[in-house]
Amino acid sequence: MFDIYKFISTGLYIGYSKIAPGTLGSITVIILLHIISSIFHFNIDILKYIFFVTVLLIGSYSVKKIIGDTISDPSYIVIDEWAGQLFTLLFVPVTLSASIGGFFLFRLFDITKLWPINKAEKLHGYKGVMADDLVAGLIAGIILAGITAFFS
């Protein structure tokens, strides 16, 4: 039977990939953002905000339904990568180069879990699952904005 919470939490089932599910999740949301903007001729810089809020709210609820208040962060849940990756892009106009740079910065911080990301990860349940990626996205976004401003 189809489980909408698993479908959302796993980023359209991308999280079940045997190879780098978090990285694939981050790539998927960037590609979706660009494709939907292109197909529907919708301003990508407005769409990223709509995507972010939607992913944050619906994703958080879905993760909560899947893992409850456990402390674990299963690798098959990648909606948190979607939220963090989108958060990174909120700080700059979305271009191909910003998307690529934002992807690498976000993955760097999400994988290394430096302070304060590692502190956010220790929150219980869905809050910890979502929070560490949001903090990684915030740090990556600030750095990306600085790089973008420097080279503008």
- pLDDT tens-digit series, residues 58-105: 999 999 999 877 767 888 999 999 999 999 999 999 999 999 999 999
Task: Supply the pLDDT for residue 1.
Answer: 60
Q: How far apart are CA 96 and CA 94, in angstroms?
A: 7
Task: Supply the pLDDT for residue 70.
Answer: 74
Ranges of each domain in the chain: 4-150
Q: How far apart are CA 48 and CA 65, in angstroms?
A: 25
Tokens representing residue 32 in the block? 């979706």
Mean pLDDT of all residues in 32-54: 96
Identify each DSSP E strand in the chain by its residue range: none
- Lowest mean pLDDT, pick from 13-27, 30-44, 61-75: 61-75
* Measured CA angle at 64 (ends 121, 20), to 5 deg: 55
- Lowest mean pLDDT, pick from 19-28, 52-61, 68-77, 116-125: 68-77
Assessment of whether the complete model's pTM goes beyond 0.75: yes
Per-residue confidence band for 143, with pLDDT thresholds at 50, 70 and 90: very high
Q: How far apart are CA 78 and CA 28, in angstroms?
A: 10
